[in-house]
Structure 1
Amino acid sequence: MAPLPLQTFSLTFLFFLSLALSTDSEGNALHALRSRLVDANNVLQSWDPTLVNPCTWFHVTCDSNNHVIRLDLGNSNIAGSLGPEIGQLKHLQYLELYRNDISGKIPEELGSLKNLVSMDLYGNKFEGEIPKSFANLKSLTFLRLNNNKLTGSIPRELVGLSNLKVFDVSNNDLCGTIPVDGPFGTFPMESFENNRLNGPELKGLVSYDFGC
């Protein structure tokens, strides 16, 4: 078999190098996430930082290019917090962390995950405000933040999420008014119950959240 031309070899080498660097950065991000979590049931035991490719780890799904596209840790009895490193999972489409004991603030960096289709953080102990950076998640279809300890108002920037079909922030400590523009005109009131919300804002008028 004739050897590959030097140019072809160089391009092939650069492709695999970039792929390795990409999966390595995603592996580093996941390892950083693991270091912040308390894993009582050892569900993260397979997350070996010595492996370049995190696609072999349990609860992690990759695409054909070895990019992490799904993280399934729902109902896994994990505690701890999330850090900014999770924003490095640039290809992530599904983030499933529901029904755990995760606390602290939701990182603003989640707003950089432009490929996210579903984010399920419900049933934890997240506190602080809903990040306004979520307005960047134009592919987001499912956003469930219910049953946490979130405060502040619903960011009005979220009305631009035209693909959003399911939005649930019930059972938090949110205040202010409920947006009515964009997809918010389709969400049932059950999605907002058990907060300190004052009801839907008046369409066409600016909402002022006094005392929120």
Structure 2
Amino acid sequence: MKTLTSILSLSLILVLFFPSSSFSTRCNPQDKKVLLTIKTALGNPYHLASWDPKTDCCGWYCLQCHSKTNRVIALTIFNGELSGQIPSAVGDLPYLETLFFHKLPNLVGTIPQTVTKLTRLKSLEVSSTNISGPIPDFLSQIKSLNYLDLSFNKLTGSIPPSLSELPNLTDLHLDRNRLTGSIPDSFGKFKGKVPSLYLSHNQLTGYVPKSLGFLKFPNLDFSRNNLQGDISFLFGPGKVLWKADFSRNLFQFDLSKVVFHKSLSWLDLNHNKIYGSLPQGLTSLNQLQFLNVSYNSLCGKIPVGGKLQTFENTVYLKNQCLCGAPLSACKKPV
């Protein structure tokens, strides 16, 4: 028994101090080679100092490997001083599911077409950088995408209609760029799930396509553009819309005829040309957490009930003749 114990102890020591290759090297060699190419292309930044060729890449900063295959499935680089363009080598990580470049002010250029080789990619975010140029039409080829965030960049040109061909998309963030043109009609014809659309803080013009009224969008943010016309068709009893922000545009329609779904929790219509009165149906929105209809041409008494009297009076100011709590009382007819 004593001899067996000694043998087991010796075996444990050998495992601890002389690990086999299967324990010492988990990272796929090809993935490691690609990652080192990416590091070089980004100027060997201090931010990626842990990317040491002598160590296992599955333990490197900003990376995640699959626990069984040891292939790199996530590359998330953020808050760094790296500079240059997104390396084309990112397309040579075939098992990648998540690719994030966030808060990198020295990242410039465009998105490389090699990302279309990432057939497993689910989340792509390039945000708060200085990438520029048009939104690549080839992004529509990555059919596995369910999250696309290109916000807070310097992207220009029009929105590619082909983005509606992404069948699994649930979130599309194109806000805070320099995009021009109109919202594509194809955005009312998504060929799969209906995504939340975030298009705010751009230079979009024209009318919102009527086709969008045929879908049930979870969230819509078109704020701070130069869009115009009637968007009442985006609301309705069958539209399970949680957040609707259409503020600071040129929208013009009769609000009194609009019916809102009970799920609505955020409604921002400030700084438009909306007229009519506040519909009584607003009082039945128990989930409503935010409301702003200021700087429009609304008139009449603010309906009493629900949460309408709990908001600050600023959300109703600068209209043609709104009255009643929390504003001043309505004048009695002479």
Please indicate, yes or no, whether the TM-score normalized by the shorter chain is above 0.5: yes
CA contact (8 A) 1:159 1:184 kept: no
Distance in 1 (CA, whole Å) between partners of 2:174 and 2:122 is 17
Aligned counterpart, 1:43: 47
Match of 2:146 among 130, 133, 141: 141
Aligned counterpart, 1:7: none
CA contact (8 A) 1:112 1:136 kept: no
1:165 CA displacement: 1.0
Q: Map Cα deviations across residues 82-104 of structure 1 (whole Å, 9 max, x no partner).
A: 12111101110111211112111
1:157 CA displacement: 1.4
Aligned counterpart, 2:32: 27
Match of 1:58 among 58, 61, 68: 61
Moved more, 191-200 or 103-112: 191-200
Q: Map Cα deviations across residues 24-55 of structure 1 (whole Å, 9 max, x no partner).
A: 33222222221122466x2211212355x532
Other structure's SS at 1:31 match: helix
Match of 1:83 among 69, 83, 87: 87
Q: Flag structure 1 segments of 5+ consecutive residues without an equivalent.
A: 1-19, 205-212
Match of 1:168 among 173, 198, 204: 173
Does 2:106 correspond to 1:98?
no
> Structure 1 residues 39, 50: closer, same or farther in 2, change over 3 A?
closer
CA contact (8 A) 1:111 1:133 kept: yes
Q: Map Cα deviations across residues 143-181 of structure 1 (whole Å, 9 max, x no partner).
A: 110110111222211111121111111111112222322
CA contact (8 A) 2:102 2:128 kept: yes
Other structure's SS at 2:78 match: coil
Other structure's SS at 2:109 match: strand
Q: Map Cα deviations across residues 94-139 of structure 1 (whole Å, 9 max, x no partner).
A: 1121111211111111122111111111100111122222112222
Q: Map Cα deviations across residues 167-206 of structure 1 (whole Å, 9 max, x no partner).
A: 1111111122223220796434xx11222222534539xx
Counterpart AA for 1:72: T
> Structure 1 residues 151, 69: closer, same or farther in 2, change over 3 A?
same
CA contact (8 A) 1:39 1:77 kept: no
Higher relative contact order, chain-length normalized (CA < 8 Å, sep 6+): 1
**TM-score when normalising by structure 1:** 0.75
Distance in 2 (CA, whole Å) between partners of 1:150 and 1:158 is 15
Counterpart AA for 1:65: T
1:76 CA displacement: 2.9
Counterpart AA for 1:197: L
> Structure 1 residues 200, 83: closer, same or farther in 2, change over 3 A?
farther
Aligned counterpart, 1:187: 196
Structure whose alpha-carbon radius of gyration is higher: 2
